[in-house]
Structure 1
Amino acid sequence: MTKRVGILGGTFNPPHFGHLFIAEQVFEAYQLDEIRFLPNAIPPHKAVVDGITDEARIALVKGAIANNTHFTIDTREITRGGSSYTYDTMLEMKQLEPDVQFYFIIGADMVEYLPKWYNINKLMELVTFIGVTRKGYRLQSDYPIETLALPLMDLSSSAIRAQLKAGQSVRYMVPENVYYAIKESQFYES
Protein backbone atom coordinates (compact mmCIF):
# COMPACT_ATOMS: atom_id res chain seq x y z
CA MET A 1 0.00 0.00 0.00
CA THR A 2 1.24 3.47 -0.92
CA LYS A 3 2.22 5.72 1.98
CA ARG A 4 0.12 8.91 2.08
CA VAL A 5 1.86 11.96 3.52
CA GLY A 6 0.48 15.44 4.09
CA ILE A 7 2.86 18.41 3.97
CA LEU A 8 2.05 21.62 5.82
CA GLY A 9 4.54 24.33 4.94
CA GLY A 10 4.84 27.74 6.51
CA THR A 11 6.95 30.10 8.53
CA PHE A 12 5.43 28.79 11.79
CA ASN A 13 6.49 32.06 13.37
CA PRO A 14 5.08 30.98 15.82
CA PRO A 15 3.17 27.72 15.32
CA HIS A 16 -0.37 27.95 16.73
CA PHE A 17 -3.54 25.92 17.25
CA GLY A 18 -4.79 26.86 13.77
CA HIS A 19 -1.85 24.98 12.20
CA LEU A 20 -2.42 21.93 14.41
CA PHE A 21 -6.17 21.95 13.81
CA ILE A 22 -5.77 22.07 10.02
CA ALA A 23 -3.14 19.31 10.07
CA GLU A 24 -5.27 17.02 12.23
CA GLN A 25 -8.43 17.60 10.17
CA VAL A 26 -6.64 16.87 6.87
CA PHE A 27 -4.95 13.83 8.43
CA GLU A 28 -8.33 12.35 9.35
CA ALA A 29 -10.33 13.43 6.29
CA TYR A 30 -7.78 12.03 3.83
CA GLN A 31 -6.76 9.03 5.97
CA LEU A 32 -3.09 9.97 5.75
CA ASP A 33 -0.23 8.11 7.39
CA GLU A 34 1.62 11.21 8.52
CA ILE A 35 1.66 15.02 8.43
CA ARG A 36 5.04 16.68 8.00
CA PHE A 37 5.46 20.28 9.15
CA LEU A 38 7.83 22.01 6.73
CA PRO A 39 9.22 25.32 8.04
CA ASN A 40 10.34 27.64 5.21
CA ALA A 41 13.77 29.24 5.08
CA ILE A 42 12.72 32.30 3.07
CA PRO A 43 9.14 32.15 1.77
CA PRO A 44 9.02 33.66 -1.73
CA HIS A 45 5.58 35.23 -1.11
CA LYS A 46 6.08 36.74 2.37
CA ALA A 47 8.31 39.28 4.01
CA VAL A 48 10.81 37.75 6.40
CA VAL A 49 10.07 38.58 10.03
CA ASP A 50 13.03 39.28 12.28
CA GLY A 51 13.27 38.49 15.94
CA ILE A 52 13.51 34.71 15.96
CA THR A 53 16.13 32.34 14.59
CA ASP A 54 15.46 29.36 12.35
CA GLU A 55 16.63 27.11 15.19
CA ALA A 56 14.06 28.70 17.51
CA ARG A 57 11.28 28.21 14.96
CA ILE A 58 12.28 24.55 14.61
CA ALA A 59 12.24 24.16 18.40
CA LEU A 60 8.77 25.76 18.60
CA VAL A 61 7.40 23.44 15.89
CA LYS A 62 8.91 20.41 17.63
CA GLY A 63 7.28 21.55 20.86
CA ALA A 64 3.93 22.15 19.15
CA ILE A 65 3.79 18.67 17.60
CA ALA A 66 5.48 16.73 20.40
CA ASN A 67 2.31 15.02 21.65
CA ASN A 68 1.05 13.82 18.28
CA THR A 69 2.55 10.59 16.94
CA HIS A 70 1.51 11.22 13.34
CA PHE A 71 3.03 14.73 13.17
CA THR A 72 6.70 15.11 12.22
CA ILE A 73 8.98 17.98 11.21
CA ASP A 74 11.02 18.23 8.01
CA THR A 75 13.75 20.88 8.18
CA ARG A 76 15.17 20.47 4.66
CA GLU A 77 14.18 23.97 3.49
CA ILE A 78 15.92 25.62 6.45
CA THR A 79 18.96 23.35 6.01
CA ARG A 80 19.09 24.21 2.29
CA GLY A 81 18.62 27.94 2.96
CA GLY A 82 17.66 30.61 0.44
CA SER A 83 14.20 30.97 -1.07
CA SER A 84 11.93 28.04 -0.27
CA TYR A 85 10.26 27.00 -3.49
CA THR A 86 7.75 24.20 -2.98
CA TYR A 87 8.58 22.75 -6.41
CA ASP A 88 12.27 22.24 -5.49
CA THR A 89 11.36 20.67 -2.15
CA MET A 90 8.70 18.36 -3.52
CA LEU A 91 10.92 17.28 -6.43
CA GLU A 92 13.60 16.31 -3.89
CA MET A 93 11.06 14.48 -1.70
CA LYS A 94 9.62 12.60 -4.69
CA GLN A 95 13.12 11.54 -5.80
CA LEU A 96 13.93 10.25 -2.30
CA GLU A 97 10.50 8.67 -1.75
CA PRO A 98 9.08 7.81 -5.19
CA ASP A 99 6.36 5.54 -3.78
CA VAL A 100 4.86 8.16 -1.44
CA GLN A 101 1.68 10.03 -2.41
CA PHE A 102 2.17 13.62 -1.20
CA TYR A 103 -0.66 15.98 -0.28
CA PHE A 104 0.34 19.63 0.05
CA ILE A 105 -1.94 21.53 2.43
CA ILE A 106 -2.60 25.23 1.77
CA GLY A 107 -4.98 27.85 3.06
CA ALA A 108 -7.51 29.49 0.78
CA ASP A 109 -5.24 32.58 0.61
CA MET A 110 -2.59 30.44 -1.09
CA VAL A 111 -5.20 28.76 -3.32
CA GLU A 112 -5.85 32.17 -4.87
CA TYR A 113 -2.07 32.67 -5.22
CA LEU A 114 -1.41 29.31 -6.98
CA PRO A 115 -1.08 30.80 -10.50
CA LYS A 116 1.99 32.74 -9.24
CA TRP A 117 3.74 29.73 -7.66
CA TYR A 118 7.13 28.81 -9.09
CA ASN A 119 6.83 25.94 -11.64
CA ILE A 120 3.20 25.41 -10.65
CA ASN A 121 2.32 23.14 -13.60
CA LYS A 122 5.20 20.76 -12.85
CA LEU A 123 4.43 20.96 -9.13
CA MET A 124 0.85 19.83 -9.82
CA GLU A 125 2.33 16.58 -11.21
CA LEU A 126 4.25 15.94 -7.95
CA VAL A 127 1.57 16.60 -5.32
CA THR A 128 -2.14 16.74 -4.73
CA PHE A 129 -3.05 20.13 -3.29
CA ILE A 130 -5.58 20.28 -0.48
CA GLY A 131 -7.00 23.76 0.01
CA VAL A 132 -8.61 24.55 3.37
CA THR A 133 -10.96 27.40 4.25
CA ARG A 134 -9.52 30.66 5.54
CA LYS A 135 -11.44 33.77 6.56
CA GLY A 136 -11.76 36.33 3.76
CA TYR A 137 -10.74 33.99 0.91
CA ARG A 138 -12.62 31.79 -1.51
CA LEU A 139 -11.63 28.18 -2.02
CA GLN A 140 -11.65 28.26 -5.83
CA SER A 141 -8.95 27.58 -8.39
CA ASP A 142 -8.54 26.79 -12.07
CA TYR A 143 -6.07 24.14 -10.91
CA PRO A 144 -7.31 20.67 -9.94
CA ILE A 145 -7.18 20.83 -6.14
CA GLU A 146 -8.96 19.00 -3.37
CA THR A 147 -10.85 21.23 -0.95
CA LEU A 148 -11.73 20.77 2.68
CA ALA A 149 -14.17 23.12 4.37
CA LEU A 150 -13.24 23.54 8.02
CA PRO A 151 -14.67 25.66 10.82
CA LEU A 152 -12.87 28.99 10.65
CA MET A 153 -10.27 29.68 13.31
CA ASP A 154 -9.27 33.31 13.05
CA LEU A 155 -5.69 32.75 14.21
CA SER A 156 -2.56 33.92 12.47
CA SER A 157 1.10 34.05 13.42
CA SER A 158 1.22 37.77 12.59
CA ALA A 159 -1.71 38.51 14.93
CA ILE A 160 -0.03 36.47 17.68
CA ARG A 161 3.25 38.37 17.20
CA ALA A 162 1.35 41.69 17.35
CA GLN A 163 -0.37 40.63 20.56
CA LEU A 164 2.97 39.67 22.12
CA LYS A 165 4.54 42.98 21.07
CA ALA A 166 1.63 44.75 22.77
CA GLY A 167 2.34 42.82 25.96
CA GLN A 168 -0.87 40.77 25.73
CA SER A 169 -1.20 37.08 26.50
CA VAL A 170 -1.34 34.50 23.72
CA ARG A 171 -2.13 31.64 26.07
CA TYR A 172 -4.67 29.25 24.48
CA MET A 173 -3.74 30.55 21.02
CA VAL A 174 -0.60 28.40 20.95
CA PRO A 175 0.15 25.02 22.56
CA GLU A 176 1.16 25.24 26.22
CA ASN A 177 4.83 24.35 25.65
CA VAL A 178 5.07 26.89 22.80
CA TYR A 179 3.51 29.50 25.07
CA TYR A 180 6.09 28.87 27.81
CA ALA A 181 9.00 28.77 25.34
CA ILE A 182 7.94 32.14 23.88
CA LYS A 183 7.46 33.62 27.36
CA GLU A 184 10.81 32.31 28.63
CA SER A 185 12.81 33.40 25.58
CA GLN A 186 10.83 36.65 25.17
CA PHE A 187 10.49 36.06 21.43
CA TYR A 188 8.62 38.81 19.60
CA GLU A 189 8.65 41.26 22.51
CA SER A 190 9.69 44.80 21.70
Structure 2
Amino acid sequence: MENIKRLGILGGSFDPPHEAHLAMARKACNAFKLDKVMFIPCHQNPLKDITGHASPYHRVTMCQLATLVEDDFPVTPLEVIRGGISFTIDTLKDLKKTGAELHLLLGLDSYLTIGEWKDADLYPKYCKLIVFTRDGDFEDKVVPAKIRKITQFITGFDMPISSTDIRKMVRSGKKIERLVTPLVDVYIKKYELYKHFRDQNRLIDDPIKKFFLRGV
Protein backbone atom coordinates (compact mmCIF):
# COMPACT_ATOMS: atom_id res chain seq x y z
CA MET A 1 0.00 0.00 0.00
CA GLU A 2 3.03 2.27 -0.15
CA ASN A 3 2.75 5.36 -2.38
CA ILE A 4 -1.00 4.88 -2.81
CA LYS A 5 -2.62 8.24 -2.17
CA ARG A 6 -6.01 7.67 -3.82
CA LEU A 7 -7.45 4.18 -3.46
CA GLY A 8 -10.64 3.00 -5.13
CA ILE A 9 -12.64 0.25 -3.43
CA LEU A 10 -14.85 -2.12 -5.39
CA GLY A 11 -16.60 -4.56 -3.12
CA GLY A 12 -19.27 -7.14 -3.77
CA SER A 13 -20.01 -10.81 -4.11
CA PHE A 14 -18.20 -11.13 -7.48
CA ASP A 15 -20.20 -14.27 -8.10
CA PRO A 16 -18.71 -14.29 -10.68
CA PRO A 17 -16.63 -11.18 -11.46
CA HIS A 18 -17.40 -9.93 -14.97
CA GLU A 19 -16.38 -7.39 -17.59
CA ALA A 20 -18.58 -4.62 -16.16
CA HIS A 21 -16.66 -4.80 -12.88
CA LEU A 22 -13.41 -4.27 -14.76
CA ALA A 23 -14.91 -1.45 -16.80
CA MET A 24 -16.03 0.32 -13.63
CA ALA A 25 -12.55 0.11 -12.17
CA ARG A 26 -10.92 1.43 -15.35
CA LYS A 27 -13.32 4.35 -15.68
CA ALA A 28 -12.93 5.32 -12.03
CA CYS A 29 -9.13 5.25 -12.32
CA ASN A 30 -9.20 7.47 -15.39
CA ALA A 31 -11.89 9.90 -14.27
CA PHE A 32 -10.64 10.48 -10.73
CA LYS A 33 -6.94 9.69 -11.08
CA LEU A 34 -7.00 6.80 -8.63
CA ASP A 35 -3.71 5.02 -8.01
CA LYS A 36 -5.38 1.63 -7.56
CA VAL A 37 -8.83 0.08 -7.40
CA MET A 38 -8.93 -2.73 -4.86
CA PHE A 39 -11.34 -5.62 -5.50
CA ILE A 40 -12.75 -6.92 -2.21
CA PRO A 41 -14.97 -10.03 -2.43
CA CYS A 42 -17.29 -10.23 0.55
CA HIS A 43 -17.56 -13.27 2.77
CA GLN A 44 -21.34 -13.02 2.99
CA ASN A 45 -23.48 -10.21 1.65
CA PRO A 46 -25.96 -9.14 4.36
CA LEU A 47 -28.69 -8.72 1.74
CA LYS A 48 -28.26 -11.91 -0.31
CA ASP A 49 -29.00 -15.60 0.07
CA ILE A 50 -25.89 -17.69 -0.66
CA THR A 51 -27.73 -20.83 -1.80
CA GLY A 52 -26.49 -21.87 -5.24
CA HIS A 53 -23.55 -19.48 -5.12
CA ALA A 54 -19.82 -20.13 -5.24
CA SER A 55 -17.82 -20.34 -2.02
CA PRO A 56 -15.89 -17.28 -0.82
CA TYR A 57 -12.58 -18.83 -1.85
CA HIS A 58 -13.83 -19.63 -5.34
CA ARG A 59 -14.88 -15.99 -5.67
CA VAL A 60 -11.54 -14.65 -4.43
CA THR A 61 -9.75 -16.91 -6.90
CA MET A 62 -11.95 -15.72 -9.77
CA CYS A 63 -11.20 -12.11 -8.88
CA GLN A 64 -7.49 -12.91 -8.93
CA LEU A 65 -7.89 -14.45 -12.37
CA ALA A 66 -10.05 -11.61 -13.69
CA THR A 67 -7.47 -8.99 -12.70
CA LEU A 68 -4.35 -11.01 -13.50
CA VAL A 69 -3.16 -8.63 -16.23
CA GLU A 70 -4.37 -5.50 -14.44
CA ASP A 71 -1.50 -4.12 -12.36
CA ASP A 72 -3.67 -1.43 -10.79
CA PHE A 73 -6.44 -3.75 -9.57
CA PRO A 74 -5.21 -5.65 -6.50
CA VAL A 75 -7.46 -8.23 -4.86
CA THR A 76 -7.67 -8.71 -1.11
CA PRO A 77 -9.43 -11.51 0.82
CA LEU A 78 -9.82 -9.14 3.76
CA GLU A 79 -13.57 -9.70 4.19
CA VAL A 80 -13.34 -13.43 3.50
CA ILE A 81 -10.69 -13.87 6.18
CA ARG A 82 -12.72 -11.76 8.61
CA GLY A 83 -15.64 -14.13 8.07
CA GLY A 84 -19.28 -13.70 9.01
CA ILE A 85 -21.49 -11.09 7.39
CA SER A 86 -19.45 -8.47 5.53
CA PHE A 87 -20.21 -4.85 6.32
CA THR A 88 -18.60 -2.14 4.21
CA ILE A 89 -18.06 0.16 7.18
CA ASP A 90 -15.74 -2.40 8.81
CA THR A 91 -13.63 -2.58 5.67
CA LEU A 92 -13.49 1.19 5.36
CA LYS A 93 -12.20 1.44 8.91
CA ASP A 94 -9.48 -1.12 8.18
CA LEU A 95 -8.36 0.51 4.93
CA LYS A 96 -8.41 4.02 6.37
CA LYS A 97 -5.44 2.97 8.49
CA THR A 98 -3.34 2.87 5.32
CA GLY A 99 -3.52 6.65 5.10
CA ALA A 100 -4.90 6.58 1.55
CA GLU A 101 -7.86 8.69 0.45
CA LEU A 102 -10.64 6.15 -0.07
CA HIS A 103 -13.15 6.20 -2.92
CA LEU A 104 -15.97 3.64 -2.76
CA LEU A 105 -17.30 2.56 -6.17
CA LEU A 106 -21.03 1.82 -6.36
CA GLY A 107 -23.71 1.13 -8.91
CA LEU A 108 -26.82 3.31 -8.82
CA ASP A 109 -29.04 0.65 -7.22
CA SER A 110 -26.64 0.24 -4.31
CA TYR A 111 -26.27 3.99 -3.92
CA LEU A 112 -30.02 4.53 -3.65
CA THR A 113 -30.22 2.06 -0.74
CA ILE A 114 -27.07 3.17 1.08
CA GLY A 115 -29.10 4.87 3.79
CA GLU A 116 -30.10 1.38 4.95
CA TRP A 117 -26.51 0.15 5.26
CA LYS A 118 -24.85 -0.39 8.60
CA ASP A 119 -23.45 2.89 10.01
CA ALA A 120 -23.93 4.71 6.70
CA ASP A 121 -23.86 8.00 8.58
CA LEU A 122 -20.16 7.37 9.29
CA TYR A 123 -19.16 7.07 5.63
CA PRO A 124 -18.19 10.76 5.23
CA LYS A 125 -15.53 10.20 7.88
CA TYR A 126 -13.87 7.42 5.89
CA CYS A 127 -14.47 7.81 2.16
CA LYS A 128 -15.95 9.52 -0.86
CA LEU A 129 -18.33 7.75 -3.24
CA ILE A 130 -18.05 7.23 -6.98
CA VAL A 131 -21.44 6.24 -8.39
CA PHE A 132 -22.01 4.85 -11.89
CA THR A 133 -25.22 5.77 -13.70
CA ARG A 134 -26.59 5.17 -17.17
CA ASP A 135 -27.91 8.66 -17.94
CA GLY A 136 -27.75 10.73 -14.76
CA ASP A 137 -31.54 11.03 -14.61
CA PHE A 138 -32.60 9.72 -11.21
CA GLU A 139 -34.06 10.86 -7.91
CA ASP A 140 -31.62 10.66 -4.99
CA LYS A 141 -33.63 12.30 -2.21
CA VAL A 142 -33.75 8.91 -0.48
CA VAL A 143 -29.99 9.20 0.03
CA PRO A 144 -29.01 11.03 3.24
CA ALA A 145 -27.81 14.58 2.58
CA LYS A 146 -24.42 13.99 4.20
CA ILE A 147 -23.87 11.06 1.81
CA ARG A 148 -24.88 13.10 -1.23
CA LYS A 149 -22.24 15.68 -0.31
CA ILE A 150 -19.42 13.13 -0.67
CA THR A 151 -20.72 11.60 -3.91
CA GLN A 152 -19.24 11.96 -7.39
CA PHE A 153 -20.88 10.50 -10.50
CA ILE A 154 -19.77 8.79 -13.67
CA THR A 155 -22.62 9.02 -16.18
CA GLY A 156 -23.08 7.21 -19.46
CA PHE A 157 -22.07 3.86 -17.99
CA ASP A 158 -24.22 1.35 -19.83
CA MET A 159 -23.04 -2.24 -19.39
CA PRO A 160 -26.12 -4.28 -18.46
CA ILE A 161 -24.20 -7.31 -17.21
CA SER A 162 -25.14 -8.96 -13.94
CA SER A 163 -23.67 -11.89 -12.04
CA THR A 164 -27.21 -13.20 -11.52
CA ASP A 165 -27.79 -13.42 -15.28
CA ILE A 166 -24.40 -15.08 -15.79
CA ARG A 167 -25.21 -17.77 -13.23
CA LYS A 168 -28.54 -18.41 -14.95
CA MET A 169 -26.80 -18.65 -18.33
CA VAL A 170 -24.32 -21.20 -17.01
CA ARG A 171 -27.12 -23.22 -15.47
CA SER A 172 -28.98 -23.28 -18.79
CA GLY A 173 -25.88 -24.22 -20.77
CA LYS A 174 -25.36 -20.87 -22.52
CA LYS A 175 -21.92 -19.47 -23.31
CA ILE A 176 -20.58 -16.60 -21.20
CA GLU A 177 -17.15 -15.98 -22.74
CA ARG A 178 -18.02 -12.42 -23.77
CA LEU A 179 -19.20 -11.52 -20.28
CA VAL A 180 -16.23 -12.72 -18.22
CA THR A 181 -12.49 -12.93 -18.84
CA PRO A 182 -11.18 -16.13 -20.48
CA LEU A 183 -9.54 -17.39 -17.29
CA VAL A 184 -12.72 -16.91 -15.27
CA ASP A 185 -14.68 -18.75 -17.96
CA VAL A 186 -12.25 -21.68 -17.79
CA TYR A 187 -12.33 -21.69 -13.99
CA ILE A 188 -16.14 -21.80 -13.87
CA LYS A 189 -16.13 -24.76 -16.24
CA LYS A 190 -13.35 -26.57 -14.37
CA TYR A 191 -15.14 -26.45 -11.03
CA GLU A 192 -18.63 -26.69 -12.56
CA LEU A 193 -19.72 -23.58 -10.71
CA TYR A 194 -23.37 -22.53 -11.04
CA LYS A 195 -24.12 -25.60 -13.15
CA HIS A 196 -26.60 -26.90 -10.62
CA PHE A 197 -28.78 -24.91 -8.25
CA ARG A 198 -27.28 -26.15 -5.04
CA ASP A 199 -25.37 -24.71 -2.12
CA GLN A 200 -21.81 -24.29 -3.32
CA ASN A 201 -20.71 -22.48 -0.18
CA ARG A 202 -17.96 -24.95 0.53
CA LEU A 203 -14.24 -24.33 0.67
CA ILE A 204 -12.01 -25.43 -2.17
CA ASP A 205 -8.70 -27.18 -1.62
CA ASP A 206 -6.87 -26.23 1.56
CA PRO A 207 -3.66 -25.23 -0.31
CA ILE A 208 -5.62 -22.47 -2.05
CA LYS A 209 -7.09 -21.28 1.23
CA LYS A 210 -3.62 -21.28 2.80
CA PHE A 211 -2.26 -19.29 -0.14
CA PHE A 212 -4.70 -16.46 0.53
CA LEU A 213 -4.19 -16.60 4.27
CA ARG A 214 -0.45 -16.30 3.71
CA GLY A 215 -0.97 -13.27 1.49
CA VAL A 216 -2.90 -11.22 4.05
TM-score range, shorter chain: over 0.9
Q: 1:156–1:33: structure 2 CA closer, same or farther, 3 Å change rule?
A: same
User: TM-score if structure 1 supplies the norm length?
Assistant: 0.92
Question: Which of 56, 59, 65 is residue 57 of structure 1 equivalent to?
Answer: 59
Pairwise CA RMSD of aligned residues? Answer: 1.7
How far the C-alpha of 1:104 sits from its partner, in A, is 0.3
Task: Write the distance in 2 (CA, Å) between the matches of 1:2 and 1:11.
Answer: 25
Shift of 1:74: 1.4
Q: Is residue 127 from structure 1 mapped to residue 127 from structure 2 by the alignment? A: yes
Which amino acid in the other structure matches residue 170 of structure 1? I
Name the CA shift for 1:74/1:139 in 2 (closer, same or farther; >3 Å): farther
Would you say the 8 A contact 1:112–1:138 is kept in 2? no
What TM-score, normalized to structure 2?
Answer: 0.82
The question of 1:182 aligning with 2:207 is answered: no
Instruction: Tell me by how many angstroms 1:133 deviates.
Output: 1.4
CA distance change for structure 1 residues 52 and 2 in 2, over 3 Å: closer, same or farther?
Answer: closer
Counterpart of 1:109 in structure 2 is 109
Q: Whole-Å Cα distance in 2 between the matches of residues 62 and 150 of structure 1?
A: 28
Runs of 4+ in 1 over 4 A off after TM superposition: none
Cα offset for 1:117? 1.0
Q: Which runs of 5+ in 2 are unaligned?
A: 197-216
1:6-59 deviation line (CA, Å, top 9, x unaligned): 000000000000100011100110001001001011111222243422111111
1:85 to 81, 87, 97: 87
Matches within 5 A, 1:135-154: 138=138, 140=140, 141=143, 142=145, 143=147, 144=149, 145-154=151-160
5 Å-filtered alignment, 1:163-178, equals 163-178=169-184
- Cα separation, 1, equivalents of 2:71 and 2:20: 18
Give the 5 Å matches for 1:41-52.
41-52=43-54
Partner amino acid, structure 1, of 2:86:
S
| Deviation for aligned residue 1:118 | 0.6
**8 Å Cα contact 2:129/2:152 also seen in 1:** yes
Deviation at 1:150, TM superposition (A): 3.2
Partner secondary structure for residue 74 of structure 2:
strand
Distance 1:138 1:9 in 2: 23
| 1:121 shift after superposition | 1.1
* Alignment match, 1:159: 165
Distance across 2 between alignment mates of 1:155 and 1:139:
23
CA gap of 1:167–1:139, structure 2 versus 1, over 3 A, is farther
- For 1:35, what is the secondary structure of its paired residue? strand
Taking structure 1 as reference, are residues 116 and 134 closer, same or farther at Cα in structure 2, changes over 3 Å only? farther
